[in-house]
């Protein structure tokens, strides 16, 4: 790709940017099979899309890549490239060119960054020390979410078409070393416990899967079909949740499993259920061993938009609930009458659930979890992060808002741009957000924008902070 194919702009003038690529690729799939045997197991229905350099060995990278620090960088993923941004001097270095990608999760391990490409079922592995793409690995059909477990030293990628985890050795990510089968299919999100276990939701089967990452086994904890519990509480919230859609006419919700998934996937939609209440967002609280799981009522769906981690609905998200599971007993211990995307504080004391211009806060220390407060935040929060002193919301209207951690009152508001995407990786002192094609870095303590870098065709970002420690929701 010619250097001018990716046009990198800055509000401060950029010097010339080296665009030479360091490409290192090797793909294999399987569970202990040889590379040659695994190559034959690749999907035949990828419409001819494969990486031209698959199987090549990575070099040591360009001089610009070698000069980059291992940490403190923002990696930006565009429609046709991967670039690294140093927020300190606003320099930009191209890491690799790509084609026809549909980015899913990008998550950080100890030595590598993992970027999921849903379009041709691959994972790009970037070595942090050299800032080079070392591998491109084949995984199962329609991968979307992934995580890294410090307890096992392995990365895990969920393939939606088969509801299977693909396991990658974090120390030597040269191929897929094992798989963990959960069920037949279904989109799912995951959260590790930090103790060699993980929990995985499923939009088709509902409930939650309890996975032993060490033994590579999984079992299902069913929830039922939603609101079938009798806990002595009246869960009528006084709202009419009729969204104006006749879901009986949609047929997609009454078709068989395979037909439903294929039909909605062709429209870019993954159903949240198929004959029951599917599950999607979740968080784990290590202090109590409780798992908080979003269970949705009928007629709602998750829009397959990797550029925005926020769940999308036709209208209001309706009467979903948060199911609370005891991870030691594998039993449902509580139900909370609110549902949606979940963001957990680093101390594990609160979970925030944004919905429109309201953010609900859960007290995770209660035996069954409970609502501890609500805040109205104008501008539609899409992402919620926590510091010791503040709750920070990244709003769709372009503002970043700081709330007092105790009272949830607004303290400050920063105008970043016209709109903000549902992204906001953060370390202890730095928040990184995306406004249109601009990557903005915010100093949390000073509550000021410290750098802005414009990149064309920007899709998503991931931040690799100086401290090698992820925030509690699994993202830096």
pLDDT in tens, 343-389: 999 899 999 999 999 999 999 999 999 999 999 999 999 999 999 99
Predicted local distance difference test score (pLDDT) of residue 245:
35
Average pLDDT over residues 46-75: 67
Q: Please give the residue that has the higher pLDDT: either 433 or 270.
A: 433
pTM, two decimals, is 0.78
Whether residue 244 is predicted with pLDDT greater than 70 in this model: the reply is: no
At 298, the pLDDT band (50, 70, 90 cuts) reads: low
Confidence of residue 309 (pLDDT cuts 50, 70, 90): very low
pLDDT for 404 equals 96
CA dihedral (37, 43, 48, 51) in degrees, to 10, reads -60
105 vs 18 pLDDT, higher one: 105
The strand pair at 132-138 and 143-149 is best described as unpaired
pLDDT for res 398 = 95
Number of H helices, E strands in the chain: 3, 34
Model confidence at 323: pLDDT above 50: yes
User: pLDDT digit string (tens) for 110-159?
Assistant: 999 999 999 999 999 999 999 999 999 999 999 999 999 999 999 999 99
With cut-offs at 50, 70 and 90, classify the pLDDT of residue 58: low
**Would the pLDDT of 300 be above 70?**
no
Write out pLDDT tens, residues 178-218: 999 999 999 999 999 999 999 999 999 999 999 999 999 99
Closest CA to 73 of 64, 83, 62, 86: 86
Strand 279-285 to 350-355 pairing: unpaired
Question: For residues 193 and 148, what is the distance between their CA atoms, to the nearest angstrom?
Answer: 11
Q: Name the least confident of 159-163, 166-170, 276-280.
A: 276-280
Which of 13-22, 43-52, 74-83, 451-460 comes out lowest in average pLDDT? 13-22
| Token output for 50 | 């494969």
pLDDT score for 434:
94
What pLDDT score was predicted for residue 469? 52
Q: What is the mean pLDDT of residues 41-69?
A: 57
305: confidence class by pLDDT, cuts 50, 70, 90: very low
Burial environment of residue 15 by CB neighbours within 10 A (0 to 12, 13 to 18, 19 or more) = exposed
Task: Give the tens place of pLDDT for each residue, 280-294.
Answer: 999 999 999 999 999
Instruction: Give me the CATH code for the 1-23+58-100+377-476 domain, please.
Output: 2.40.10.480
Reported as a pLDDT band with limits 50, 70 and 90, residue 70 is confident
Can you say how many angstroms the Cα of residue 69 is from the centroid of all Cα atoms in its chain? 25
Strand 370-376 and strand 381-386: pairing? unpaired
- Has residue 77 got a pLDDT over 60? yes
């Amino acid at each position: 790709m010619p250097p001018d194919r990716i046009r990198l702009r800055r509000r401060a003038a950029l010097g010339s940017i080296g665009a030479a690529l360091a490409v290192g690729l090797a793909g294999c799939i399987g569970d202990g099979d040889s590379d040659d045997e695994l190559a034959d197991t690749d999907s035949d229905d990828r419409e001819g899309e494969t990486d031209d350099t698959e199987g090549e060995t990575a070099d040591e990278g360009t001089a610009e890549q070698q000069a980059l620090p291992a940490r403190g960088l923002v990696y930006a993923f565009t429609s046709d490239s991967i670039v690294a941004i140093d927020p300190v001097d606003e320099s930009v270095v191209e890491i690799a060119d790509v084609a026809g990608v549909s980015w899913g999760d990008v998550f950080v391990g100890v030595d590598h960054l993992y970027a999921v490409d849903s379009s041709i079922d691959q994972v790009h592995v970037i070595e942090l020390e050299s800032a080079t793409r070392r591998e491109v690995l084949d995984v199962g059909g329609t991968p979307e979410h992934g995580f890294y477990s410090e307890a096992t030293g392995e990365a895990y990628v969920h393939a939606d078409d088969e509801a299977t985890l693909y396991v990658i050795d974090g120390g030597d990510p040269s191929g897929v070393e094992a798989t963990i089968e959960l069920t037949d299919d279904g989109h799912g999100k995951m959260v590790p416990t930090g103790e060699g276990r993980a929990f995985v939701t499923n939009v088709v089967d509902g409930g939650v899967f309890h996975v032993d990452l060490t033994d590579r086994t999984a079992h299902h904890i069913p929830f039922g079909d939603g609101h079938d519990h009798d806990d002595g509480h009246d869960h009528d919230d006084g709202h009419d949740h009729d969204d104006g859609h006749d879901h009986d006419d949609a047929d997609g919700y009454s078709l068989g499993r395979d037909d439903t998934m294929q039909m909605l996937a062709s429209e870019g939609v993954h159903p949240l259920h198929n004959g029951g209440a599917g599950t999607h967002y979740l968080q784990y609280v290590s202090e109590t061993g409780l798992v908080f799981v979003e269970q949705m009522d009928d007629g709602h769906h998750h829009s397959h938009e990797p550029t925005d981690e926020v769940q999308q609905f036709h209208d209001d998200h309706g009467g979903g609930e948060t199911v609370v599971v005891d991870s030691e007993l594998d039993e449902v211990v509580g139900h909370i009458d609110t549902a949606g995307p979940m963001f957990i504080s680093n101390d594990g004391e609160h979970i925030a659930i944004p919905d429109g211009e309201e953010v609900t806060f859960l007290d995770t220390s209660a035996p069954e979890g409970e609502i501890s407060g609500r805040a109205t935040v104008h501008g539609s929060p899409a992402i919620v992060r926590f510091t010791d002193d503040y709750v920070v919301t990244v709003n769709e209207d372009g503002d970043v808002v700081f709330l007092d951690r105790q009272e949830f009152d607004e303290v400050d508001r920063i105008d970043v741009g016209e709109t903000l995407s549902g992204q906001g990786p953060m370390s202890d002192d730095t928040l990184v957000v995306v406004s249109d094609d601009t990557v903005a870095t915010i100093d949390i303590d000073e509550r000021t924008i410290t750098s802005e870098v414009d990149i064309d065709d920007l899709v998503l970002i991931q931040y690799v902070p100086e401290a090698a420690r992820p925030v509690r929701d699994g993202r830096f």
